[in-house]
Each structure stands twice: as C-alpha cells, then as structure tokens.
Chains A and B, each alone.
Chain A
Amino acid sequence: MMTLLRERVACSLAERLDQAPHPVARSADAGCPGSRGAARAKMAVDGLDLWYGDYHALRDVSLEFPEHQVTALIGPSGCGKSTLLKSLNRMNDLVEGCRLEGTVSLDGHDAYRSVSVADLRRRVGMVFQQPNPFPMSIYDNVAFGPRTHGVRRRDELDEVVERSLRAAAIWDELKDRLKKNALGLSGGQQQRLCIARALAVRPEVLLMDESTSALDPLSTAKIEELVGELRRDYTVIMVTHNMLQALRVSDRTAFFLGGEVVEAGPTDGLFTSPVDPRTADYVAGRFG
C-alpha cells in the first residue's frame, strides 16, 4: 500500500513538473491560492463550529474553496468531512439537534442569512454516496430540478435534459430510453444520472459525498474522469475515503481529524511533504 502510494505520488508529480513545490499551508492560512494560480474563493467557511446535540462535530474550521478547482476532503470516518460538506448547502438543517456557529459564504455572501435555502441548494448542488434516482423516468429525474425552479416549457426542458446528460457523459447511453424508469439503470449509470440531475439546475458548486464509494472500479474511473472535466465549469468539493482518488482528481486537499482541519493545501504538497506528523501518518497509510 505504501509503496503503491509513493509511486502514485511520484507519477502525479511527474505529470505536473511545471509546478514548483508548494509551501504547505496549515489550517490557519488554508486559504492561500491553489496550484492553479490565484483563483478566487467560490465558497469559504470561517470559524465554523457545529454540534449534533451535545456532540461537537466540527471545531473552528476555516477553509476556502477556489473557483474551478476540485477540493478533496479526506480523513478517517467520523472526522467531520461529510458534516462540513453538508453544511455548505444546509443539508444539515434536516438533522435534528444540529446547531452551528461561524460563517459559510458563497461568493462572499453569507450562505445562511443572505441566500434562501432553495436558492442556495440550486447554486450548490449535491451528489450523494448512494445513487438516489427518483422512482420515475430518466427524463423526469433530470427535469425534476428545473421544474422545481419554474421551468415548464417542453422545448426548454428537452434542451436542459440533453445538455445535462451530455455534461454527465451519459447522453449516448441513455438518449434512446429517456422514458424508461431510472431504477432500471446500473449503479454507475444511476450515479451519473444523479450528477446530470444535479447539473440540470445550473449549479455553481458541486458537492460530492463519497460519490464513488458504492460503485465498481470502472464506474468509479468514469466518474473521476467526469469530475476532471466538470472543474472547467464548476467548483467541485468532494469527500473521499480513498486517498488515491484525492490524489488523482483533486487540486487541493484538506485533511480532517476529530472535527478539525489538520492541514489543507495543494494536493501534491499535502501528500509529498505534509507539515503535520498526523497528516504524514495518514497519507502514508499508518492509520485511518
């Protein structure tokens, strides 16, 4: 495992020879520009504390998510990475006894106070761990979001459905059976359909919560490739258990432990020269 990881790191670095080694940012200055130059922060959390009842799930988390980059959140189970993801589009509102302090911002505006929930969730889409297409046709699945936000005209919906399925790289597979029930698709197809469904409302940010962990390796590879393309138009924030996936796909990585950000920065730097010994242990596979 370790040697494999080292090789992957080396490969990854070789591919990016043009990039100088980065000084690794600690959580305090995690917002430094990423590996792709001075991208502005699309989303940011500042001093975020979150409780589920008495359980203190996130502790003083501050992170920035640069526009048109893929940020990976890694860490062992229960470290708070999914919790952080869910607080970015207020899915935590649905959890009983969830309370949070600090700010989450989208384009510099407070996501909890100056944006409506419906609008926030339209602009910050989400793809879940388990593919969750609705029990309706493929077409209706993709059209669900646009219809929710008031699109009624047939030609407009047709256009959105095709565009979204193309963006999720699944149009060619599904174009002849748009009227078929979505639950008849394979797991990998379902997940790409869910990505298409999320893209149909023209989000600006896409949250992916371990979206490949329920899929086979081939489907995973397809989705990873897709994520690489999506960064051109969207800002992607993904939670992953798979460090190699973070390494393959992401521009920046944040390492979580016990509800805190231990270290965050450009992915290559974090994996090759971690500053914090706990990060070094984790990325070397010594725990987690």
Chain B
Amino acid sequence: MGSRSRSAASHSSVAPLRRRASSLLLRGLAYAGAAVTVLTLGSLVVFVLVNGVPHLTPSLFSGEYTAQNVSLVPALAGSLLMAGAALLLAVPVGVGAAVYLVEYARRGSRFVAFVRVTAETLQGIPSIIYGLFGMLLFVSALGWGLSLASGACTLALMVLPVIMRTAEEALLAVPDAYRQGGFGLGAGRLRTVARCVLPSAAPGILAGVVLALGRCLGEVAALLFTAGTVAQIPDFGGSGALGLLDSCRTLAVHLYVLVGEGLHLDEAYATAVVLLALVAGLNALASAAAKKMRKGSAL
C-alpha cells in the first residue's frame, strides 16, 4: 500500500496510464453488457417475426377454433379478459394497501415491515405454486371449476405484491412537502392523499401496473391449473355473468398448447407474434399515458 502510493507520487505518469487502461476496460465491459442485452432481445424478436409473420393468415383470426384451423381469436379475447379482470381485482387492493402502509400506518411500525417482507416473499414464489393454491381454493374449495374467474383471481393474487410494492415506492418518493402543504391548509388526510400525493405518484404506480400486466399476459403455469385450456370466448352473451365460470385460454396458454401438441408449430409462431405485438402495444399505451401524466404534473 505504502509503496504503491509512493510510486504513484514519484512516477506520476504511470498512474494515469493505469487508470486509463482500467477505465477503458470498464467502458468495454459496459458496452459489451449493453450489446449482449440488445442483441438477445433483437435476435429473439427477429426470430419470432421471421418464423411467425408468414403464417399470420386471415384464417387464424376467423373466430371459431377447430382442430383444423387453430384460430387465436378466442385466446386473444381470453388474454384481454383474464388480464383485465386480474388487474381490476389487484390494482384497487394493491394501491389501497400501499396508501395505507405509506399514508395511514405509523411510520416504521412492525406491521408495515411485516407486510413489506411478506409482499417481497410473495413476489419470489414460483407462479406454479400460485396455480396450485388457486386450484385448491378457487377451483375446488369454492367450486368455480377451471374458469376465467379462478384464473383471474389466481393472477390477481400473483401480481398483487408487485403492484403493492411499486405503488408503495412511488408514494414514498412523493416529497413530504406536498403532505405538509395539504395539511397546513386544513385539508384532511383523505383529501391530501387524493389530491396532492396520488397524482404525483401516478406515473410510478402505472409503471407497476404495466409490470403486472406483462406478468398476466405471459403467465402459463398458474393458468393451466386454474383456467384450463378450452379455446372458446367465455359465453357472456348466453349465460351473462356465469360466463365468468367458463374455462378459457390466454395467448400464452394457447402457444404452450400448440407447441405441446406439435401439430401447429407455424401457427404457434404466428401466435407468438400476436402476443409480442399485444405486450408491446399495451406498454406503449401505458408509457404514453405516463408521459401525459408527467406533463400534467411537472411542466
């Protein structure tokens, strides 16, 4: 140590050279890391597009699923219904829980720490465990069978911790000055949270919702046990709300089944293209919304 610092002092030209070399190395590693990331994603997307786009035939969107024509329309509808229903359940509960933890609970209370650890643990549990739990609770115990309702509730449980934790972080990032300003004008906690705190946390909360949406659209394991694989649009027209108890498959499940059967690999690639487009489209929509919100709140 002593000798090194002496050499650095006496041979002042050596140290910068060494520093430059190590800085070059680090920069190289950073570029390499970025390149690997981009190339992986890029080649994946290109692979799917090359194999899938030629098979995006009109018959794939024909509405009726048959053994000969594996239409993806029921699965597309299933994805939207499943993800929509899951978020409808999970977002209010997750954001509500986050609001409670940040705004109402005593700061630094044991209960808050406990809930936080629980949520983090839940985030790390493999989705198939959620599937198993959903099967035992919703499918069997509650008697909902393999259905949209069972699947959506299972997904909701799965993404609840994601939504809650991101919403909590977003609320914690809101400066206390907004709260003080609200309280200082005689506003109650509800009004202060609703009008001063939540609007500035909204973009962060939305980011968590997008993350959750992605997990809903990509989930297979948990749904195989809870929603089944019937390729039909739940029959809300004929049986009203009872359509919730119809089994349905999402695009991801559809893809899994097609590949598993091995008879329609081309259509499986085409399905992957649609799933990719759906996720990309919804993400773009969400980030546009977040941008609009930020503009409203920061410019």
Residues of A participating in the B interface, judged by any CB pair closer than 8 Å:
89, 91, 94, 96, 117-122, 125-126, 128, 130, 132-136, 144-145, 148-149, 181, 183-184, 194, 197-198, 201
- In the complex, which residues of chain B have a beta carbon less than 8 angstroms from the beta carbon of A136? 199, 297
**Range of interface residues on chain B?**
20 to 34
Please report whether the interface of chain B is mostly helix, strand, loop or mixed according to DSSP. helix
- Complex A-B: 17 CB contacts under 8 Å: A89-B184, A94-B180, A117-B186, A118-B186, A122-B185, A122-B186, A132-B177, A134-B181, A134-B182, A135-B297, A144-B182, A144-B185, A145-B185, A148-B186, A181-B296, A183-B297, A183-B299
Residues of A within 8 A of B196 (CB): 134
Min CB gap B154→A, angstroms: 37
Contact A130 to B191, CB < 8 A, known contacts A122-B185, A136-B199, A148-B186 = no
* Alpha-carbon distance between A183 and B182 when the two chains are bound, in angstroms: 16
Given A134-B196, A135-B200, A91:B184 Cβ within 8 A? yes
**A130: B residues at CB distance < 8 A:** 177
| Contact between B181 and A121, CB atoms less than 8 A apart | no
Given contacts A134-B196, A144-B195, A148-B191, contact A198 B299 (CB under 8 A): no
Contact A121 B177 (CB under 8 A): no
In the bound complex, do residue A194 and residue B181 qualify as a contact, i.e. CB atoms below 8 Å apart? yes
* Closest-CB distance, A182 to chain B (whole angstroms): 10
In B152-204, the 8 Å CB interface with A consists of 175, 177-188, 191, 195-196, 199-200
- Judge whether A96 and B107 touch: CB under 8 Å: yes
Mark B residues whose CB is within 8 Å of A.
106-108, 175, 177-188, 191, 195-196, 199-200, 296-299
- Please, which residues of chain B bring their CB within 8 A of the CB of A128? 177, 180-181, 184
5 closest cross-chain pairs (CB), A and B: A132-B177, A135-B297, A121-B186, A122-B186, A145-B185
Q: Using CB atoms, name the residue of chain B closest to A95.
A: B107
Q: With contacts A91-B183, A94-B179, A125-B184 known, what are 15 further pairs, Cβ within 8 A? A: A117-B186, A118-B186, A121-B183, A126-B180, A128-B180, A128-B181, A134-B182, A135-B178, A135-B297, A136-B297, A145-B185, A148-B191, A183-B298, A183-B299, A194-B181
**A181 and B185 contacting across the interface, CB-CB below 8 Å:** no
Q: Give CA–CA (A144, B182) in the complex, Å.
A: 8
Are the C-beta atoms of B299 and A94 separated by less than 8 Å?
no
**Nearest residue in B to A130 (C-beta to C-beta)?**
B177
Contact between chains at A181 and B297 (CB < 8 Å): yes
CB distance from A125 to the nearest CB of B (A): 7
Which of chain B's residues has its CB closest to A97's CB? B106
Task: Give the docked Cα–Cα distance between A125 and B184 (Å).
Answer: 7
Q: Look across to chain B and name the residue whose beta carbon is closest to the beta carbon of A144.
A: B185
Measured in the bound complex, the distance between the Cα atoms of B187 and A198 in whole Å is 12
Q: Name the contact of B178 in the complex, choosing from A122, A125, A134, A201 (C-beta under 8 A).
A: A134
